[in-house]
Amino acid sequence: WYTFDKYYSMTDVTSVYAAAIILHPSRRKHYIRQNCDSIYHQSAFDAVENLWKIEYKDKATVNVSTICASNDPDVFDEFARDLDVTASTITSDEYEAFANHTPFGISTTALEWWLEERQRKLYPSLQKMAIDILSIPAMSSEPERVFSGARRTISWDRARLGAANIEPTECLKSWLRSNITSGLGII
């Protein structure tokens, strides 16, 4: 139990674990309130909100569809857009709107849910945070395996290769092993 407690206590040190729970559409803040000790609630909520405010809230997001649009909106389009009631007009804080919303079941993983176009439109900045956090492996065994496998790529004779050459090579090797590129005509 000592080893388990040692690593479990580390979840209190970082806000990423709480953020992963809060950013899951089937869990959100309700999960922490229901399943964690009450002394943990406010510190977890504050840590995730702080991460949101410092790293993501005021960062500019690029809307690809508006950049690619060739027709300028006319007066009617602008008027119609002003009448739309969207999440951003209801509340100015995407994180608070999402985190306090009632959880609901999803048929995909949380990461797949956040990758949907609908989420980019509703939560443009929060989607970036969710993808960043939910893309982190829950365990370090896979990154450690990839990292130690780099020794086979970088022999002592090739030790002067820079990160710009090693990183793409290791990414491709990992993608090939996990069949991420299958059907894409890449390799």
DSSP run (H or E) holding 26: none
Amino acid sitting at position 91: T
CA angle centred on 100, ends 94 and 106, rounded to 5°: 90
- Break the chain into its structural domains and give their ranges: 2-134, 141-178
**Structure token digits, residue 104:** 């609901």
CA-atom Rg of the chain in angstroms: 21
**Structure token digits, residue 6:** 């040692």
- CA gap 153, 169 in Å, rounded: 8
Residue closest to 95 by CA, chosen among 67, 65, 66, 54: 54
Tens-place pLDDT, residues 124-183: 999 999 999 998 877 666 666 666 666 666 766 667 777 787 788 888 887 888 777 777
pTM of the model: 0.60
